[in-house]
Structure 1
């Protein structure tokens, strides 16, 4: 058995064990890796020596884990924020893990920091940079290397078709030289990424490559008079052959097929024809991420990794992507999929769960509801069995003690010896008939060694402390009235009078305890409506009124990016420092710590870890804390679940369902919307009817309304979230039927 290591220059150190059985001809779509250890390091200090110092300063992600992926299966990677999901995916994508075959094709969509203040609703005239490739060109180029091939064709054509007898040779050597330089760059990068046995091998390959490049450099700089006629004829012929091969690769029929597929994927992700021909540099961050997703989906691969692909998609795009991935899975030789998403409905397309917890990887064949149900049933069964065994043991112990007392009272030595014998059997062999996992006990499996005197108790799975979010109750308003009211409100951007009206005649009333959901596709006006509600913009026409004592809490769609900017501007700023600074004496340190702790930022995480080093999910919690310390009456939440793990999403859903204030929610997460706004429970079989008693003693039900924004018009959705989902399903089917025709 050998141990190999690899270290990313960015901070990832991976080790694993391999046996000689792993070194055969592996299936490039499967992974079977034992003893996997992953550590994220912060870099070595001056004077530190190698990996030992890095390990001492690193954060351990996995310890002696098993990474096993079956070809063609679809895995949902689950784990709480900060457990290392993105790190594991990066290690797989960059093949830093020993045991991943070099020939395995891995394509990854990673979470990217997007710093963009523009909304998707602003017209394209707001963009200024129009340089670089268009969206369609970018997707095709990254998939086919079309422009690089065309460049080589142009170089060769000039040499082959020109009158210079040495032109073809020089063109051929020019292309060969450029290709060697690119290969040298990749080999150098590979050598720097790896250490240990794999690093040594990579450096050997690099040295051989450097020698090869140096040898060809002499040939490349050779003067014409030193080139023999035989060499000239040979390389001229090779240039003609290379030109023919390259021309086949950009054959119009082949490129047309790639372009057709690219357009189909881009359309599914929300691109209209006019946006496909926009330059990538002119797009907002959300549309750039969709361009990257299209590029990933178009490529042929063995392992497809998608890290939060739905973050910038509306529900139409999410449903299209869900169906597209399911269609890929039904193909003859589908890639293995690893998916990270906080959207419970979206990950239902996965066949298996891959759970990262306590520095280990565990697996479950089935979906998330099945896993949660199975885990609860297993815990209940083992708990019941343990209680029964404890009760039985207690009864036997009482019987033994009673027999000893009676034996001593009657001086019955036989009874005393019998009781002591039973006590010895109880101490030495109790529980031998049941294994620690609750099954039938087997000596050779469940009691290794010959010197054990008793078996451990039944092992009941120790659950992590459940995620629990506590939202402070809002203060009294003192007199009744709507919190926010919109009457025939319309809006258009004043700087561009040619743009159409974004919102038209919107009527909305938000009262204490109301749950308002806003659904709509990107560009329908959701962000504009939110900015009107929080008074970042003013209506063009109509009336917007607010309760005079209203305290409003607003979670913006780009809140995480804004916190990242704050963290970079002040590298030592912690969550505790930030809230203490913003509270300005209204809260003491203990109150701030309790608030942060209730939202999942306890102890040293709040006081010692800089904001710039917090994960996306932890930044969401921090932003929620910045909102809640003011005890708002109304929460306006714009895509608040982005970056959160599924357990925190579940806890937040439950907390908002029971909160006494009003909630206005914009979200593409169907499960979250159904729970918060429609009041559905975990099993989603029925909504609860929360009651509230007003100051006059009158009981009223919480108002639950789901609105749809479309073309600036806002109307109540009678079918609620399910109705909107059904309409999007129909649109996706129409898109698919149209693309087939």
Structure 2
């Protein structure tokens, strides 16, 4: 027996001004489906959710709900009663109906306690006034209020925004185990894969449907692109033949050449503009000296919390670090310290003389709403030399997804994602050599995220990223550093997975200190077993290594680092040769064999470096 859809859309069309966001869309949502909604910023994802929940009427078509449908909707902006407390919103009736009654009734409900703990509301306090909370805390309160109630369908617009990595992992597990339907707009690709069984892509007024989460959607889209490219390649080959014929002689001698000219011109006119692949990889080309940031024996506090307790941390040229920790651990405060927006309570932060840092905060910089996009870019720079090319601000804006027409749009009319893109563009236009990025993925669509990763993946400067987006962290950074709340800064050699494991042990142990590994250690007291200062000049706490052994080990580390750098340089040259001889199959086979041998040699050197670095 077929299941009855909870929601149906029949020939729904929605236009905002001159833009058609949904064009004759028909679809249904089953009672146990978990669907992720993806698409470019401004494509109409949030509009689809509002129409589906009947928060917005379509221009035409019909939206029907199953009788008695209990629906919960998390929007991007949440408004609570002015004098409400967190308690009133989450388990009272100040924001949603179905209050839970006396305290002993809801306190005895394990599901409610799980939600409160999972979203970290114990750190906010149930008696806190909602109006005193930050935007991220208000979002968590609203999400908790929806999750503790019995609903047949949850509709969530960007639920992972303002959640830390641990919070995102908890929410994914909770939603997978929850009964009922789910429709979620999110740009968190790990979350999409972990939670969703189907994907809707909003594009050009249509809603394309795919089975599976993010990975399945990427594969399906890649296959669609491959087929389009094959068709385009056949057309390009035909066009090249026609153009070659045109160059061979006078085309006006007979009626036949005239036909060939018209055919060639039609092919030329129909060729689409080449898709931009984001050519801003060399924007941050300013060279950095040997010193970037040296955090020396620093103590950093925020209110009553100690973020760093006499920590020494070295950040060098080309380092690519991700900074993780629970909400409130002090990630943003530490990033602001590096950006020069604060001072440590004790110790010091030494900044290299050639450092030119750019800091992307979580708040989108306020610009005059009447300022045009192009004018906002030209405020920073009108022209920029990228390699051997001199590019205008307009050309650079187009690389970041602002078409020629869109560049004359007032800033006040941009979507949140477009403003974030504009903020990133203005940041990079200044030509920094150090990037400090605080949640750079917030409000960016997946295509823009991929373009940003493509840029950051080969960006030549120093990069420090605070992000809950595991895809971005694993793609563009080399090391994960964690603030676990005990005043130390630890390197997670196992990345996000190791961080989550340590947090789980830490939480189950009642908040005790856990874990070992490389760390910016507090200067006072004994270091944890296996912990090592990131300052190469300090002595190791590892037992069994004499001073002579340490000097020899450090010398070997330096040798291995030089060897790895040389091998990487040789790899780059081989990749260039492979591209140069792409049509010579014998040469390609020879170069490929050489490249595989070189990669094996580099991996062996890196493994030796990793093993040795654990003892130094």
Q: How does 1:33-48 map to 2 (within 5 A)?
A: 33-41=9-17
Q: Is the 8 A contact 1:518 1:706 kept in 2?
A: yes
Q: Is the 8 A contact 2:382 2:393 kept in 1?
A: no
Q: Is the 8 A contact 2:298 2:345 kept in 1?
A: yes
Which residue does 2:331 correspond to in 1? 526
Q: How far off is 1:250 after superposition?
A: 5.0
Which residue does 2:451 correspond to in 1? 651
Which residue does 1:718 correspond to in 2? 493
- Determine helix, strand or coil for the equivalent of 2:167: helix
Q: Is the 8 A contact 1:472 1:628 kept in 2?
A: no
CA distance in 2, matches of 1:83, 1:139: 32
* Root mean square deviation, CA, Å: 3.7
Cα deviation digits, residues 582-641 of structure 1 (max 9, x gap): 448989x9621122112112312122x111111111111111111111100010001000
Which residue does 2:417 correspond to in 1? 617
Q: How does 1:278-677 map to 2 (within 5 A)?
A: 278-328=128-178, 331=179, 334-335=180-181, 337-348=182-193, 349-377=195-223, 379-380=225-226, 465=275, 468=278, 470-477=280-287, 480-493=289-302, 499-558=304-363, 560=364, 562-563=365-366, 566=367, 570-583=368-381, 591-607=392-408, 609-677=409-477
Q: How far off is 1:469 after superposition?
A: 5.9
Q: How far off is 1:259 after superposition?
A: 6.1
Q: Is the 8 A contact 1:575 1:610 kept in 2?
A: yes
Residues 1:62 and 1:464: Cα distance change in structure 2 (over 3 Å): farther
CA distance in 1, matches of 2:360, 2:233: 47
Residues 1:466 and 1:724: Cα distance change in structure 2 (over 3 Å): farther
- Structure with the largest fraction of helix: 1
Q: How far off is 1:476 after superposition?
A: 4.3
Q: How far off is 1:271 after superposition?
A: 1.6
CA distance in 1, matches of 2:276, 2:352: 37
- Determine helix, strand or coil for the equivalent of 1:313: coil
CA distance in 1, matches of 2:147, 2:506: 21
CA distance in 1, matches of 2:91, 2:224: 50
Which residue does 2:89 correspond to in 1? 138
Provide the aligned length of Structure 1 versus Structure 2: 468
Q: Is the 8 A contact 1:77 1:85 kept in 2?
A: yes
Q: Is the 8 A contact 1:520 1:709 kept in 2?
A: yes
Residues 1:517 and 1:138: Cα distance change in structure 2 (over 3 Å): same
TM-score normalised over the length of structure 2? 0.68
| Alignment gaps of 5+ in structure 1 | 1-24, 42-57, 115-129, 148-248, 393-461, 678-703, 736-741
Which residue does 1:708 correspond to in 2? 482
Cα deviation digits, residues 200-241 of structure 1 (max 9, x gap): xxxxxxxxxxxxxxxxxxxxxxxxxxxxxxxxxxxxxxxxxx
Cα deviation digits, residues 47-66 of structure 1 (max 9, x gap): xxxxxxxxxxx321011222
Cα deviation digits, residues 544-567 of structure 1 (max 9, x gap): 111222211110011x2x33xx3x
- Determine helix, strand or coil for the equivalent of 1:492: strand
- 1:83 partnered with 2:43: yes
Residues 1:660 and 1:552: Cα distance change in structure 2 (over 3 Å): same
Q: How far off is 1:361 after superposition?
A: 0.9
Residues 1:302 and 1:597: Cα distance change in structure 2 (over 3 Å): same
CA distance in 1, matches of 2:296, 2:378: 39
Cα deviation digits, residues 231-262 of structure 1 (max 9, x gap): xxxxxxxxxxxxxxxxxx95888x43786543
Q: Is the 8 A contact 2:285 2:460 kept in 1?
A: no
Q: How far off is 1:134 after superposition?
A: 2.5
- 1:74 partnered with 2:37: no
Greater C-alpha Rg? 1
Cα deviation digits, residues 352-392 of structure 1 (max 9, x gap): 01011121111011122222223334554676699899999
Q: Is the 8 A contact 2:276 2:399 kept in 1?
A: no
Q: Which has the higher contact order (CA 8 A, sep 6+)?
A: 1
CA distance in 1, matches of 2:134, 2:92: 20
Residues 1:388 and 1:599: Cα distance change in structure 2 (over 3 Å): closer
CA distance in 1, matches of 2:415, 2:237: 46
CA distance in 2, matches of 1:387, 1:590: 29
CA distance in 2, matches of 1:94, 1:531: 42
CA distance in 2, matches of 1:347, 1:672: 14
Q: Is the 8 A contact 2:52 2:63 kept in 1?
A: no
- Structure with the largest fraction of strand: 2
CA distance in 1, matches of 2:19, 2:299: 52
- Determine helix, strand or coil for the equivalent of 1:345: helix
Residues 1:469 and 1:321: Cα distance change in structure 2 (over 3 Å): farther
- Determine helix, strand or coil for the equivalent of 2:184: strand
CA distance in 1, matches of 2:300, 2:142: 32
Residues 1:465 and 1:69: Cα distance change in structure 2 (over 3 Å): farther
Q: Is the 8 A contact 1:140 1:259 kept in 2?
A: no
- Determine helix, strand or coil for the equivalent of 2:468: coil
